[in-house]
Amino acid sequence: MFNFQNKQTYDNIAMMSPEGFLMCYIGRKRANWYLDRNLARKNSEKEIQLLFKPNGLGHYYDKERNIPVKNHCVVCGCDDISKLSKHHTIPECFRKHFPLRWKSYRSHEVLFLCVCCHVKYELEAQKIKFDMVKSFGGENAFKEDGIIRGHIKTLLKHADCLPPGKKLDLQIAVMIYHNVDDVDEATLKNLLKKQRISPYKLYAESITDHFEFNRFWKQHFIDTMKPNYLPPYWKPDYEPTFGKERQGIF
């Protein structure tokens, strides 16, 4: 068994195939999962070896990337673990709405930043995210959704107090927006349970070139922060290399 350390750090435990090929570097939690189930043996404090034939060889084919991850800020080099946090270079508000192909096996897009550098970059990134949503019209859709939700709440709480004309206007607006034929109490309560429209989701679903979108954000990070300690493989147009067993997954 391996002892746990700061969850924010990379443990860099080498995972070897039964034949001795370096598949990847993993964390203690994952290493212990294999060891607890007798699926691997512990060769040393920094290495386990699988006792079964895996479906693939992980990052073995991606030699440039298959290296330990250093626990320091990629911008300034700060290695104080208590001040480090993981930064997703592709904003999660967009990425979580991407197709599977662009959500899986993307750990290379996560970097370590110290608190100061993280806050500094996020302030700049937030401006870009806002401009993207605004240019697409997602901001207006989000506002309209909020207005309709307000109408629903008013009808549920104050229907008996509303002037007939005002009540009818709200009912019609709700019916048109949600494409429903009735706005009785049960219908209104169900509509209120619906998840709010996310302007980021609307924008993410409009993206047709995910590679270029990702490349933009990586380049924006580099141009904004001018990091001095990026991994050698980390470039805006970098994409992981997989063996044949994974090339057909997506």
Proportion of the chain in helix, strand, coil states, percent, rounded to 5: 50, 10, 40
Cα pseudo-dihedral 15, 19, 20, 22, rounded to 10 = -50
Query: Do residue 106 and residue 52 come from a single domain?
Result: no
Residue 14 covered by a domain? yes
- Tokens representing 150 are 């307000």
Q: How many residues comprise the chain? A: 250
CA atoms of 18 and 60, how far apart (whole Å): 13
Query: Do residue 90 and residue 166 come from a single domain?
Result: yes
Query: Do residue 85 and residue 112 come from a single domain?
Result: yes
Query: Do residue 61 and residue 151 come from a single domain?
Result: no
CB 144 within 8 A of CB 177: yes
Give residue 24's domain range.
1-69+231-250
CB 32 within 8 A of CB 189: no
CB 15 within 8 A of CB 23: yes
Query: Do residue 107 and residue 189 come from a single domain?
Result: yes
CB 205 within 8 A of CB 213: no
Residue 193, pLDDT score = 84
pTM reported for the whole predicted model: 0.69
Nearest Cα to 90, choosing from 74, 72, 108? 108
Integer angstrom CA distances of residue 243 from 34, 112, 204:
22, 27, 29
The domain total for the chain is: 2
Residue 81 covered by a domain? yes
Query: Do residue 171 and residue 113 come from a single domain?
Result: yes
Query: Do residue 111 and residue 204 come from a single domain?
Result: yes
Query: Do residue 129 and residue 240 come from a single domain?
Result: no
Residue 136 covered by a domain? yes
Pairing assessment for the beta strands 110-114 and 84-88 based on DSSP bridges: antiparallel
Query: Do residue 158 and residue 136 come from a single domain?
Result: yes
End-to-end CA, the chain: 35
Nearest Cα to 104, choosing from 202, 237, 242? 242
Integer angstrom CA distances of residue 163 from 63, 98, 168, 207:
71, 45, 9, 45
Residue 216 covered by a domain? no
Residue 214 covered by a domain? no
pLDDT in tens, the chain (250 residues): 434 344 557 888 999 999 999 998 888 899 999 999 999 999 999 999 999 999 888 877 777 777 778 899 999 999 998 888 889 999 998 998 899 888 876 778 889 999 899 999 999 999 999 888 878 776 666 777 788 889 999 999 998 888 888 888 899 888 887 888 888 999 999 988 887 778 888 889 899 999 999 999 999 999 999 999 998 888 898 876 655 544 444 3
Taking only the tens place, the pLDDT of each residue in 60-104 is 777 777 777 889 999 999 999 888 888 999 999 899 889 988 887
Query: Do residue 181 and residue 119 come from a single domain?
Result: yes
Residue 237 covered by a domain? yes
Residue 217 covered by a domain? no
Query: Do residue 138 and residue 183 come from a single domain?
Result: yes
CA atoms of 116 and 131, how far apart (whole Å): 24
CA atoms of 12 and 14, how far apart (whole Å): 6
Residue 47 covered by a domain? yes
Query: Do residue 51 and residue 156 come from a single domain?
Result: no
